[in-house]
Amino acid sequence: MIQLSKPEAQKIALLSQGLCSPELKGVVAQRALSSIHQLGYVQIDTISVVQRAHHHVLWSRNHTYQPSYLDQLVANKDIFEYWSHAASYLPMKNFRYTLPRKHTFKSGQQKHWYKKDEALMSSVLNKIKHEGPLMAKDFESEVLKRTGWESKPTKQTLELLYMQGDLMITERRNFHKVYDLTERVLPDNADTTMPTTKEYGEFLALNYLKAHGIGTPSEMGYLLKSSKALIQQSLNELIESNKVEQVSVEKQTFYTTSGSLELLNKRLSRNRVHLLSPFDNAVIQRKRISQLFDFDYQLECYVPAAKRQFGYFCLPIIWSGELVGRADCRVEKSTSTLQVLNLFIEKALTDTDSFEEALTKELNAFAKFNRCTNYQIIYTRYSQGSL
């Protein structure tokens, strides 16, 4: 078994994610599509203290990215909305691999958090069939309030029909979903054949390794119910066919591919700071980044204010190929200022001048991306030097 050092494993993971590497070339909107193909998905999130996660993730890998590009890719039917481990944009070329999950919802093998009302589902489908794409607000139904979190029965039904594959989201208007019949949203050349169990297991393993370079079965099945056994079986078969191999990182076994190992021959760009979204693919699995990067991270927007250690919406910071800190950011719209409420640098850096220069450049770029004219660091906890 090949032995990898932790820095080698980190290098493979970062380069696989399109971080600490040269930016993609070509038509700017197509660069975003290339990133989504490489990453496998981009998570959609509603929090908007800075630019939303699905835009931030793509910008982190390509500073020419603009939010309008995602709408363009959806309109071109290059990507679509569905679930990975959460609501996400996925490459249309991978559409068929969403069918197993949809089947489990439609067949009742997996229970949705909303209860099915077959008559209402039929009514909603019929209305969309005859009237065209509709939003939740286009349906009238009463909400029975018990806790304050309930939504209209028709809105719940739309989500049920979406999760089981009868409906897709054809666009968003002011971030509100627009639903249409699946057959009217899919491109003519979409592959709609149900993958075999073998094909699905191989996809889960290889798609993860393409995006992350190295991984464990539990990481590959992150928040995918009852998938670990299938993934492990697929990995065993992929090893037999020499498509996957095992490596050891500090006595822990990971899986990888020969293509990922070739990344060790590439140079890791160490002169650029990356400010990552808390929902970035590279850091979404907190246990993984703790093990690989010795970086303990928690998104504290869900933590009561009095118990927060770092701040409401801290962005992990990459520098010189390592996770070295976090910046609690928000946009102050009244002054068009990107505020860094708290800046925490955990690692003692030997070249603080270069880091500060690169951080300044990245914060200026991030401010511009957030339609701000400047940025302001309010509080810094820094091991050496000052900002």
Residue where one domain finishes, among candidates 265, 281, 303: 265
For residues 197 and 169, state if they share a domain.
no
- Structural domains counted in the chain: 3
Regarding whether 342 and 327 lie in a shared domain, the answer is yes
Residue 387 lies in a domain: no
Q: If you compute the radius of gyration of the chain from its CA atoms, what whole number of angstroms results?
A: 22
Pairing of strands 214-215, 252-256: antiparallel
Asked if residue 153 lies in contact with residue 161, where contact means CB atoms within 8 angstroms, the answer is no
* CATH number for the domain that contains residue 328: 3.40.630
Residue written as token pair 């489990």 = 104
Report the SS3 class of residue 304. coil
What is the pTM assigned to this prediction? Answer: 0.93
Last residue of a domain, one of 223, 243, 265: 265
Instruction: Give the number of other CB atoms < 10 A from CB of residue 103.
Output: 14
Show the DSSP H helices in the chain as ranges.
Answer: 6-16, 28-39, 53-61, 68-75, 99-107, 118-131, 153-163, 182-185, 197-212, 217-220, 228-240, 258-261, 286-293, 352-369
133 inside domain: yes
What number is the average pLDDT over the span 170-183?
96
Residues 370 and 284 grouped into a single domain? yes
Structural domain contains residue 27: yes
Q: Which of 108, 107, 74, 72 is nearest to 92 (CA)?
A: 74
- Same-domain pairing of 133 and 210: no
Burial 285-308 (b: 16+ CB within 10 A, else e): beebbebbbebebebbeeeeeeeb
CATH number at residue 154: 1.10.10
> What is the model's pLDDT at position 148?
47
Same domain, 88 and 132: no
Same domain, 297 and 375: yes
Indicate the SS3 state at residue 173: strand
What percentage of the chain reaches a pLDDT higher than 90?
A: 84
- Inside any domain, residue 102: no
Task: Quote the pLDDT of residue 386.
Answer: 39
From 234, 265, 296, give the residue that closes a domain.
265
pLDDT band per the 50, 70, 90 thresholds, residue 152: confident
Q: Does residue 107 lie in a domain region?
A: no
Checking if the pLDDT of 177 tops 70, the result is yes
Which DSSP category does 134 fall into?
B
Per residue in 207-236, pLDDT (tens digit) is 999 999 999 999 999 988 889 999 999 999
**Per the domain annotation, does 213 fall within a domain?**
yes
Among 106-115, 158-167, 168-177, which is the least confidently predicted range? Answer: 106-115
Confidence of residue 385 (pLDDT cuts 50, 70, 90): very low
Q: Is 297 in the same domain as 368?
A: yes
Question: Is the domain of 290 the same as that of 376?
Answer: yes
Q: How distant, in Å, are the alpha carbons of 273, 337, 343, 359 from that of 311?
A: 20, 18, 9, 19
CA–CA separation, 310 and 298 (whole Å)? 9
The tens digit of pLDDT for each residue in 43-55 reads 999 999 999 999 9
Q: Using the 8-state DSSP alphabet, how is residue 195 labeled?
A: P
Considering the domain architecture, whether residues 83 and 119 belong to the same structural domain is answered as no
HSE (side-chain half, CA atoms, 13 Å) at 251? 0
State which amino acid sits at residue 55.
H
| Position 150 confidence tier, pLDDT thresholds 50, 70, 90 | low
Whether 210 and 338 share a structural domain: no
Residue 377 placed within a domain: yes
Residues 82 and 176 in one domain: no
Give the model's confidence band at 1: pLDDT under 50 very low, under 70 low, under 90 confident, else very high.
confident
Residue 88 structural domain:
2-94+192-265
Confidence of residue 147 (pLDDT cuts 50, 70, 90): very low
* pLDDT (tens digit per residue) in 285-343: 999 999 999 999 999 999 999 999 999 999 999 999 999 999 999 999 999 999 999 99
Question: Within a domain: residue 286?
Answer: yes
Q: How many CB atoms lie within 10 A of CB 24?
A: 18
> Is 289 in the same domain as 144?
no
Write the pLDDT tens digit of every residue in 339-368: 999 999 987 677 778 999 999 999 999 999
